[in-house]
Chain A
């Protein structure tokens, strides 16, 4: 028995739904309409196959190299006690490299036995890129546009990525939530979120 991370289980659809009540009001917005879907694999138990199998070992190797590099180059002040500030980074770096090597060995072994089917077929890149784009734009424009507009834009983009298509209603909800947060924070908690250029105009 493994504890699979924080992801939901595919059992959802087999779950008994005794009183299948009203269809949710926003059924067109909820992206999960189909009934016959291939259940997503449980990533925590899935074996890595194909080129993507090397992503995690590569990440660990890079982190490990940075750690070892830091361990070797960080200069301790002359009066510092030993072990100095570089000791822990070096140890963690070496452990990261060892872990990466273990994963690489497992990968090579799996390549010999596997059937070569890609394990990440379920991954949908488009919505992820949309959400990421929304976040990047939000961070870039937050101080110029102000919280109200940048926050609303982020809300709208993420909602769009998740399949919301009622553009006018989405925009209204986005603006209201963003405004409520700004008012709540500045009045209730005395924390000022950036006003942006609206502050200059109004």
Chain B
């Protein structure tokens, strides 16, 4: 009951005209950077930091929160229409979303994404506000051993969920892990793989990897595809609209996605990639089961609305969920959260249990403004999505030229250094190679983000037990997670072997038929 009163107080504070303006600016800017490939909300918040230094903390954080949520909404638009996810969290949406757009159902895809995002944001924020203490307590139970188990689970889940070929998925993950090892080792302070360059001591920034693999790598790949590249002219956006049938198929994935996102969002290290891909996998499995039971054909692979509704909801509710460890523990679980933590410290605030006591009004105003921001995002995204779709009318040469320009800009803007641009070029080449040879890109991104966390927690756990590896499996939580790892590894392997046997059988039949 206390929480509701606190939230109402926060709502009153958030609804002052001045704070409303900041929230509106935030969601506008967030949608814009979410839409622009290679520019995520993390970068926008980073760029805003120096600008907002003179604002009072509450206004600044309302602005940042708006950018954060806006980025999530905006990311869906380009994932669906252009197949260029603005940030890693919207990769899962591209698979089915873009296929829906290619088959002329972009309006429905956008509609289910926006409404699903809204539902998930509101529910997710309410969950954060109502269950923050409980969730913080759960997350507090995690020791280094549990964190490590969690990252291993994420690795296996991603390599298995994302890729068509397990070996290629693992290869991609390992490439990401290798990139993540560059720089000063946080545990011992030893420089690793710096190859004599001082720029590499800080490691390869995740923005560089994301922009290189996703944005610039995509440009190079589309250039290589030449005439066989997809033609955007076939895509019609239209006003987001959901028919009765789409609504019936959407609402359950919305809720399932929201539940997944709320469950994973607060867990440090899981980010929004895991729940979005888990949701995508879950919806696909459910659709296949429905096909067997009722004969309703699964549309996965041809643009299934469930494959948009689920991941988008998971994306937004996990974005809300990451606020729990950020505010409650001072622990960032995503790039944007990490930068917001830096912002808190800039204002001399230390997130954690103390923040809830000393700056309670700031926390509750922030949470309430997230609710306000969600309503604003629904309003500016639902009727105006065709406006974003105008991007499709851009001539293709200009579109890719623009993406290249923004990619270079995004990376240059982080450090204003040319060396980082050279790293970007190298990673873009790796991205081109991976795409050309059909190695999925997403596991590499997960590897870069989670690799250092996995290593740190592993070594911290062993340091705490003075080298006794039993600490890694010392609690029910970690044993449960490892059981899930085995399941996640074995089930796709069986499916893979079965598929290969079927393929072989088909291969044998085909030449016979030709002769």
- CB pair A66–B193 under 8 Å, yes or no, is yes
Question: What 1/0 mask marks residues of chain A from 118 to 152 whose CB sits below 8 Å from any chain B CB?
Answer: 00101111011011101110110011000000010
- CB pair B224–A123 under 8 Å, yes or no, is yes
Contact A30/B440 with A13-B234, A92-B181, A156-B401 known, Cβ cut-off 8 Å: no
Stretch touching chain A among B113-121, B171-179, B326-334, B360-368 = B171-179
- CB pair A177–B167 under 8 Å, yes or no, is no
- CB pair B396–A1 under 8 Å, yes or no, is no
CB distance from B91 to the nearest CB of A (A): 7
Does any Cβ of A come within 8 Å of B227's Cβ? yes
Question: What 1/0 mask marks residues of chain A from 7 to 35 whose CB sits below 8 Å from any chain B CB?
Answer: 11111110111110000111001111010
- CB pair B437–A48 under 8 Å, yes or no, is yes
- CB pair A82–B467 under 8 Å, yes or no, is yes
Stretch touching chain A among B92-100, B128-136, B253-261, B382-390 = B92-100
Q: Could you tell me the dominant secondary structure of chain B's interface residues?
A: helix
Per the bound structure, the CA–CA distance linking A30 and B231 in Å amounts to 9
Does any Cβ of A come within 8 Å of B230's Cβ? yes
- CB pair B91–A6 under 8 Å, yes or no, is yes
- Which residues of B (411-443) have their CB < 8 Å from a CB of A? 412-413, 416, 418, 421-422, 425, 428-430, 432-433, 435-441
Does any Cβ of A come within 8 Å of B50's Cβ? yes
Per the bound structure, the CA–CA distance linking A127 and B440 in Å amounts to 23
Per the bound structure, the CA–CA distance linking A38 and B216 in Å amounts to 26
Number of B residues near A (Cβ < 8 Å) is: 97
Chain A residues contacting B218 (CB-CB under 8 Å) are 6
Per the bound structure, the CA–CA distance linking A136 and B214 in Å amounts to 19
- CB pair A24–B401 under 8 Å, yes or no, is no
- CB pair B227–A15 under 8 Å, yes or no, is no
Chain B residues contacting A17 (CB-CB under 8 Å) are 104, 234
- CB pair B175–A63 under 8 Å, yes or no, is yes
Chain A residues contacting B98 (CB-CB under 8 Å) are 8
CB distance from A82 to the nearest CB of B (A): 6
Does any Cβ of A come within 8 Å of B20's Cβ? no
Contact A85/B187 with A70-B192, A143-B418, A190-B50 known, Cβ cut-off 8 Å: yes
- CB pair A158–B438 under 8 Å, yes or no, is no
Does any Cβ of A come within 8 Å of B252's Cβ? no
Does any Cβ of B come within 8 Å of A164's Cβ? yes
Chain A residues contacting B47 (CB-CB under 8 Å) are 189, 191
- CB pair B99–A99 under 8 Å, yes or no, is no
Chain A residues contacting B230 (CB-CB under 8 Å) are 7-10, 12
Per the bound structure, the CA–CA distance linking A164 and B404 in Å amounts to 15
Per the bound structure, the CA–CA distance linking A47 and B462 in Å amounts to 42
Per the bound structure, the CA–CA distance linking A174 and B432 in Å amounts to 24
Chain B residues contacting A72 (CB-CB under 8 Å) are none
Nearest residue, chain A, Cβ from B300: A1
Chain B residues contacting A82 (CB-CB under 8 Å) are 462, 467
Chain B residues contacting A127 (CB-CB under 8 Å) are 223-224, 226
- CB pair A31–B171 under 8 Å, yes or no, is no
* Given A9-B230, A31-B396, A37-B228, 4 more pairs with CB closer than 8 A: A85-B187, A85-B192, A189-B51, A190-B51
Listed A/B pairs (14) with beta-carbon separation below 8 Å? A18-B104, A31-B396, A45-B438, A56-B168, A60-B174, A63-B178, A77-B190, A106-B167, A131-B223, A156-B401, A161-B397, A162-B397, A177-B405, A185-B413
Interface on B for A, CB 8 Å cutoff? 47-48, 50-51, 83-85, 91, 94-95, 98-99, 102-104, 162-165, 167-168, 170-171, 174-175, 177-178, 181, 185, 187-190, 192-193, 214, 216, 218-231, 233-234, 236, 280, 284, 300-302, 393, 395-398, 400-402, 404-406, 408-409, 412-413, 416, 418, 421-422, 425, 428-430, 432-433, 435-441, 455, 458-459, 462-463, 467
Task: Give the 6 A-B CB pairs with smallest separation, nearest first.
Answer: A8-B230, A2-B164, A43-B438, A40-B228, A164-B397, A162-B397
